[in-house]
Every structure is written in structure tokens, then in C-alpha cells.
Structure 1
Amino acid sequence: MEIRTLRYFLAVARDENMTRAAESLHVTQPTLSKAIKSLEDELGQKLFTRQSFSIKLTDEGFLLRNRAEDLVSMADKIEQEFLTLDDITGGDLYFGLAESYQISFLAREINSFKQLYPDLRYHITSGDTSQVAEKLDKGILDFVVLAEMPDINKYESLIFPKTDTWGVIMPADVPLAQKEAITVDDLVGLPLFCSGQGWKNDIPRWAKDKMEDLHLEGSFGLVYNASVFAKEHLGYLLSFDKLVDTSPESGMVFRPLTPKLETNLYLVWKKYQTFSPIAERFLKKIQQDFGQKGKEIKPGTISF
């Protein structure tokens, strides 16, 4: 199975039309059709169902698409790394990011790093822990930022300089908004929005035995989308501070949880990872700037 053939397959899956895919790939349609047929023969599965004016992925095609995207991304990353081995002014960095106001620290690091290496190119993927950690494990990403303790058996990490504070984001005109801080009893019986990761890991350690009394109305991957639902009075959003506009003009407010609930943010990379030259330089710089040495983060470690 060749990477070129997988690129052909992904183009057809994207365009759902053999002619358009051939044009985008700058190959003839017979060449493309032959490559797809050869791939199906090699795998022993039909990857597309042919219709009058389009073609659709089969279940087996969907499975291959997911795998092919990772393989092609990895091939591109390897190729780019070797092309930039002798490039002392730049290269490519690949990050997977959680949502946090502390991403500003990372942005500043990248900005100052780019002053040293003006040809630096960086690529950002957003997602929850499982999504970005999977790409890190496969070697598609160099670093990920996680809002939970990383597995110290698999990863090394740095703690970001500050912590994220949990609270409730809600319309300013609801009675609960009059409180200065929110207790777990305040939330019993209310429709709540939260990320799946936060509902599983962070909220239980705050709510303790009252967790079973809380009602998750819906989970969201993107805080902004959840805030729109909260603004329409569909529920109350449990989230970090400083991710949603809660200025007086927004009509929304943030109220911290009490007792206070905080979460550390971690920059994470694989143990024994072989970095590209630019990634290795970036790690050394951020270790120096964060005042840490990239050692394994132990449970209970306090950020400075």
C-alpha cells in the first residue's frame, strides 16, 4: 500500500466524484480509477458505492479514511522534518491544544521563538484529551496541552505557570447570578452543560457525594457553543474562567465554584521521543522560560 495511493483515495473520499478528484490530483481519471480498484483488490473490500453522479464511502471506506488520514499526516510530517534538517532558521511544530486562557503563555513562547527562527511554521489541532493524546502517540503531534494530569509512565511534561479556575457561566438575569460563588447545592436540579472530560474528572472531585444529584443536560467539545446554549437559558455552563466573554455588555456572568476548584495545565510530550531539530530547540527554550527541566510530573506537584 503506497502513500500516493492513499492520497488518491482521500481525494476521492473528499470530492465524492472521480472526475473532480482527478483534476485536483492532476492525474487522468483512468489512472485514478485504476489506483482505487487496485487498492480495493489489495484490501479485499469495496471502499466506495457508485451512484449516478457521485460515489460514497462504504463502512470499510470510512474505516480506511480514518487510518489513511493519520498515515498521510505522518508521512507529510516525516518528509517535512527531513527537508528542514539543515534549516537553521525554521521548521515545523505540531501542537494539540486543550481550551484554556493559559494558551496565551504558549502563544507568547511561539512568538518569541519565531523571532529566533523566522521560518518557523506551526500547526494547531484542538480537541479533548483522548483526541490529541492519540495523535501524540502516533507521532503526528510533537506536543499536546492537557487540562489533566498526564500518564507519567508514558509522557513527560511541564506545568503551566498558573491554574484554571472552574465556575458557572450563565445569563446575568437569572437568580443564581446574584450569588458571588456557587455551591454544589445551588446546582442540584438545574440543567448543566460541561465538557465530557470535566464532567468525568474535575466536577466529581468537587461535588463528591453530591455528584449523583447533578444533572448533565448536554456535553460540548467547544466552550463557545455551550455558552450560546447557556445564553438562551437552556442550562448553566460549568467551565474555566476567561474562556467566554462575560463583560457587562455580553449579558453573561461568571461565578466561581466554592469550595474553589482549580485545574493545572500541562505541556506534554512522549517519553524517549525523537524530536526534529526545531522541536528540540523549542522544548529547551520553553523549559528554560517555564523554569523547569522537563522532569516527570509527580502527583501532587505544585505549579509555581
Structure 2
Amino acid sequence: MSNPWELTVAERGGRVELRQLEYFVQVARLQHVTKAAEELHVAQSAVSRQIHRLEEELGVRLFMQRGRNVQLTPVGQLFLRRAEALLGDLDRAVMEIHEFLDPEVGEIRLGFPHSLGIHLVPQVVAAFRKLHPNVKFRFRQGMYPSLIRDVIDAEVDIAFISPYPENNEQVTGEVVLTESLYAILPINHPLAKKPAINLSELKDETFVLFGNGYSLRPIVWDACKEAGFTPKIGFEGEESGTIRGLVAAGMGVSLLPEMAMYETSSMMPAVVKISEPKVTRTVGLIHRSSEKLPLVVQIFHSFLIDFFKNDYESL
């Protein structure tokens, strides 16, 4: 079998080696030849030589020297996007071949928001790996916009997301569950011991909410508007644990989904159902519309659909 680095692609009549593309991408990412050589476990001279040959084949300068660092030229920036796409396609092709031969040794790149990483993602991954112990996972957490972008840009194969995006032609998928949001209150709050409350009963309270960019913020905001008031925001947080802790400390009230209640700490608020209006969020699975899922991801996807139909238990 020939060395895979002997494979070449034609470019303006020349021949560009895949090794040159890998070296070029690594130097471009680190903006430093020596650091790139260390990451690639090769001599600095080898990296410099391959970059020089690549520039000769293309007939352009790809880098400019900036002190001890290097910086992409405008044409280098253009070429980087194409080189990364080519190497990504090659990686996926090799993975697909391995999965075709044995999908039990594949890798799944899974994205999810922080609120699902506390309980749901560990639960489903542990259940799946009992059946497929050799499958590897690579995880990526993010906020709503970044998760959609990661799926579109092929940074992840599949992602949990909330709420499910109804009108995005670049991703497709399905809603796997709908969960209720609960009011959380300081334990000494007058409403803390009630079995359920109307959300309008919190109209005069100070709210602790997620910051802008978090999908739960507009859900809570819209629910309060439906209940007839605009929430007064006193504090903001970036994680459900922070929100719970601030509420437990008496800094205000908030709404959190069921899954945010699984985690416990020394500072826990009272949890009360909301009878009116009904406040829920959807949780979906999404992947790229334009591509067929790799076989190992298809197996995981089918497992998840069955899991949420038959095995998932909410509060």
C-alpha cells in the first residue's frame, strides 16, 4: 500500500501534496512555524520546506512574517478555507470507510447546551455505551446560535438543542421531548410551599435570568408577557447552577426546566409548579440537511429516538 501522503491533488497544473496542506493548516492556526512543528512532531525545517514548496506550486505567498510569528496573506486566508474543507472531507471519508467495516469502533461528535449536560447527555451516552462500548464520543458544548453553526459547519455530527429550530433549512431533525419549566423561589418566600402558582403572582418580583444569547431567556420573558407583565431583571447568570444559587440566596425568583433540578447543592431554592400559563421548552436533535449521517451516528440517532419514546423519565 502506498503512503497516504503520496496522494496529490492537481492545482493550476501543479501537484499539491496532502502533507503540505496539513502543515499549512497547522501553521495557519498557530501562526508559528516552530509551534506547528511541535504539534506535528516533525522538524521545523521539514515544515518550512513543505510550506515553501506549496507556495512554489501555487505561485503565491501564503504567509507574511510578523516578528517571530507568521500571518496569512489575503490569498492565504482564501486558501485556508479550501484546505480545511479538503482535509475535513478526507477525514470523514476515512471515518466512513472504518465505520463501514465496523461501525462499533466509530466516533460520534455530539453537541449540546450546558443545561442538558448536567443529567441528560451523561444518561443517554452511558446507556448507549452499554450496548456499544467501543464507540468514542467527542463533546462540544455551546449556546443556541453556536450549536446550530457547529452543525452547519460540520464541527459536530449531531446536536441536542433547545428550543428546536423550526425554520432553518440547513439543519433537520425532530423534537425528542417537551419539558415543563418550574418556578424557583427562595425557601422562605410566601409562595414557596404552595403546590402550584399562577405566573402572574410573581409580577412584582425581581427575576434572575440567563443572559442574552441563552435560549431559556426568551422563553421566560415570553411566558411573563403572556401572564401580563414584564419581568424586572435584577441579576443574570450563565449556568443553571448559578441561577439556582442566586435564587436560593434570596436575590430573586426565576424559571428553570425540569432537567435543571437534578443537580443538587447546599444552596437549593424551593421548586413550585406553574399552573398558568403552561411554560415549556422543546428539546430536539439536529443534523445537517445536506448530508447523510455516518453509520455510527445513524445507530446513535435511532437509539436516542427509541430511548425518548420508551426509557426517558421526567420529574
TM-score, normalization by structure 1: 0.68
| Secondary structure at the counterpart of residue 94 of structure 1 | strand
Name 2:224's counterpart in structure 1: 207
Q: Unaligned stretches of 5+ in structure 2?
A: 1-15
Q: Which runs of structure 2 are paired with 1:64-143 in the superposition (5 Å)?
A: 71=85, 75-100=90-115, 104-105=119-120, 107-143=122-158
Query: What's the CA shift string for 1:160-199, capped at 9, x where partnerless?
Result: 3x614244476x67x6885756845646573633142336
Contact 1:95–1:125 (CA<8 Å) still a contact in 2? yes
| Secondary structure at the counterpart of residue 89 of structure 1 | helix
| Secondary structure at the counterpart of residue 202 of structure 1 | helix
Name 2:208's counterpart in structure 1: 192
For residues 235 and 104 of structure 1, do their structure 2 counterparts lie closer, same or farther at Cα, with a shift above 3 Å needed? closer
For the pair 1:279 / 2:308, whether they are aligned, the reply is no
Task: Give the percent of matched residue pairs that are identical in Structure 1 and Structure 2.
Answer: 16
Name 1:55's counterpart in structure 2: 69
Report which of the two structures shows the higher radius of gyration computed on alpha carbons.
2
Name 1:299's counterpart in structure 2: none
**Matched letter for residue 85 of structure 1:** F
Contact 2:244–2:267 (CA<8 Å) still a contact in 1? no
Contact 1:169–1:239 (CA<8 Å) still a contact in 2? no
**Matched letter for residue 159 of structure 1:** V
Distance between the aligned counterparts of 2:41 and 2:259, measured in 1?
47
For residues 77 and 272 of structure 1, do their structure 2 counterparts lie closer, same or farther at Cα, with a shift above 3 Å needed? closer
Contact 1:194–1:237 (CA<8 Å) still a contact in 2? no
Name 2:5's counterpart in structure 1: none
Contact 2:62–2:73 (CA<8 Å) still a contact in 1? no
Decide which of 18, 22, 44 is 2:33's aligned counterpart.
18
| Secondary structure at the counterpart of residue 166 of structure 2 | coil
C-alpha RMSD of matched pairs (Å): 4.6
Query: What's the CA shift string for 1:243-292, capped at 9, x where partnerless?
Result: 37874x61231544743522121122344641222222223333334349
Distance between the aligned counterparts of 1:89 and 1:188, measured in 2?
55
Shift of 1:87: 0.8
Shift of 1:230: 6.6
Shift of 1:96: 1.0
Shift of 1:11: 3.6
For residues 286 and 212 of structure 1, do their structure 2 counterparts lie closer, same or farther at Cα, with a shift above 3 Å needed? closer
For residues 226 and 286 of structure 1, do their structure 2 counterparts lie closer, same or farther at Cα, with a shift above 3 Å needed? closer
Decide which of 255, 265, 268 is 2:283's aligned counterpart.
265
For the pair 1:156 / 2:147, whether they are aligned, the reply is no
Q: Unaligned stretches of 5+ in structure 1?
A: 293-302
Name 2:268's counterpart in structure 1: 252
Contact 1:89–1:119 (CA<8 Å) still a contact in 2? yes
Shift of 1:241: 4.4
Name 1:290's counterpart in structure 2: 308
Question: Which range is displaced more, 2-11 or 91-100?
Answer: 2-11
For residues 3 and 155 of structure 1, do their structure 2 counterparts lie closer, same or farther at Cα, with a shift above 3 Å needed? farther
For residues 117 and 186 of structure 1, do their structure 2 counterparts lie closer, same or farther at Cα, with a shift above 3 Å needed? closer
Distance between the aligned counterparts of 1:255 and 1:149, measured in 2?
25
TM-score, normalization by structure 2: 0.66
Shift of 1:112: 3.8
